Amino acid sequence: MMLPMNPLLLLPPETAHKAALWALKSRLVPACPPDAGSLRVQILGREFSNPVGLSAGADKQAEALPGWQRIGFGFVEAGTLMPAPRKGNTGTRLWRLPKQNSVINWLGLPSRGPDVFVRNLRRFTEDTRNTMPVGVSIASTEGKAEDFEQLAGLVAPYAAYIALNISCPNTAEDLGDTLQSLKSHIRAARNGAGNCPVMVKLGPTDDADVLKMLVHTALEAGAAGFIATNTVPHDKRALLKDAGEFEWPRNYQGMVAGGYSGPGLLPISLFMMSEMRALAGPKVPLIGVGGVQSGDDAVRLLKAGANLVQLYTGLIYKGPRLVRDIKEVLARS
C-alpha cells in the first residue's frame, strides 16, 4: 500500500496492509519535508500543521502514528476502537477494484480493544517531539451508550477529538430511531470526554432533509462538528453515480457485502460538505472525507466548506507520495 511504485499492490489486500504498517513502523518510508507555514490550520482548539489527515480504519490500533506523521499527514483519525477485542468478519473481507482506484471493505470493525490502543496513543502523544494531533474513532457493536462513555473517557486525555461512527438511515421511518440513538450516544460520549470535542462521522446520503435532521439533532445534543462521509454500503449503491461499472464482491456466504470507498464517493462528500456548512454555519468544525485522491479533490472539498480533509483509499493506489502531492497543490492554491 505505501511504497513508491506500489509493489504492495501485488500482495493480497490485507497482507499488503500489514506490510504497509510494518514499513511505517520500521521507518522504511521516506520522510516528508516540513510543512509550509501557509498550510497551518487552527481548529478544534488545536494547531494542525496541514489539513490533510488519514481517515479512520487504516490504523485501527494506533500502532503506526510516528510513521503517518513522518510521511506528512497533518493528523490521523485512529481506530475505530471497540470496547473489547474482536476479530471482525470471516473469510475474504477486503477487495480492490483496481480499474476504479476503489476498494470494498467488509472488515467488520476488528479491534484489539482499549488496552493496546490507549498504550500506543499515550506513548505517541506524551512524546513532546510529536506534534501531529490524533483523533480517535469509537463505536459499539450493540450501540450501548455506556460503551461510548467508557471509550471516550479512556482516550480523551490524549485525543484531539473523538469521532462517533453512525450510519445514515435508509428511509424516513428509520430516521426517528437513528436520531434517538444519536442523541444518547453523543451525550454519553460527552460525559466521558470532558473537554475533548466529540465529532459525529456520518454515512453517505443525498437527502438534504435527512442531513438537516441529523445535523440539528447532533448539534443540540452537544456534538462539536461532523465528518463525512463513510463508505457506501450495497443497499445505497444507487448513490454511486460516477463510480464506473464493477461487480460488487460477495463474502464467504455468497452475499454481497461491505462498503465502497474511492473516487465515486467524491460527489457525495462534496454535496454533504456544502449542505453541512450551510446548515451548521461558519464556526462548526467540519472534516471532509470520501474520494480524495488528488490535490484538486482536496481543494474542492475545502472550498465546499471543510476545515480539514481525510483520505484512505487514495493511499492504497498512490502510496505516500499522494500526501506530499496534495500539500503541494494546497500550498499553491
Ligand X SMILES: Cc1cc2nc3c(=O)[nH]c(=O)nc-3n(C[C@H](O)[C@H](O)[C@H](O)COP(=O)(O)O)c2cc1C
Give the binding site for ligand X (CB under 6 A). 55-57, 80, 94, 103, 105, 107, 109, 137, 165, 201, 230-231, 261-262, 265, 289-292, 311-314
Nearer to ligand X, 217 or 231 (CB): 231
Nearer to ligand X, 80 or 127 (CB): 80
**Dist. CA 22–CA 28, nearest whole Å:** 9
Nearer to ligand X, 64 or 107 (CB): 107
Smallest distance from the beta carbon of 310 to ligand X, in angstroms?
7
Smallest distance from the beta carbon of 110 to ligand X, in angstroms?
9
C-alpha cell at 165: 461512527
Smallest distance from the beta carbon of 301 to ligand X, in angstroms?
10
Smallest distance from the beta carbon of 104 to ligand X, in angstroms?
8
SS3 158: coil
Smallest distance from the beta carbon of 251 to ligand X, in angstroms?
15
What phi and psi, each to the nearest 5 degrees, are found at residue 286? -130, 135
Closest Cα partner for 201 from 260, 136, 145, 152? Answer: 136
Nearer to ligand X, 107 or 196 (CB): 107
Which residue in the shown chain puts its C-beta closest to ligand X?
Answer: 57
Nearer to ligand X, 305 or 314 (CB): 314
- What is the per-residue burial (b if ≥16 Cβ within 10 Å, else e) of 112-140? bebeebbebbeebbeeeeeebbbbbbbbb
Nearer to ligand X, 210 or 227 (CB): 227
Crossing angle of helices 145-155/172-193, nearest 10°?
A: 40
Non-local CB neighbours of 177 within 8 Å, separated by 6+ positions: 169
Smallest distance from the beta carbon of 201 to ligand X, in angstroms?
5
Distances (CA, A) of 330 to 40, 131, 160, 300, 303: 11, 20, 23, 10, 11
Nearer to ligand X, 34 or 290 (CB): 290
Q: How many whole angstroms from its chain centre is CA 296?
A: 19
Non-local CB neighbours of 321 within 8 Å, separated by 6+ positions: 4
Smallest distance from the beta carbon of 115 to ligand X, in angstroms?
18
Nearer to ligand X, 166 or 215 (CB): 166
Are 322 and 293 within 8 A, CB to CB? yes
Non-local CB neighbours of 60 within 8 Å, separated by 6+ positions: 78, 79, 80, 81, 110, 111, 112
Smallest distance from the beta carbon of 263 to ligand X, in angstroms?
7
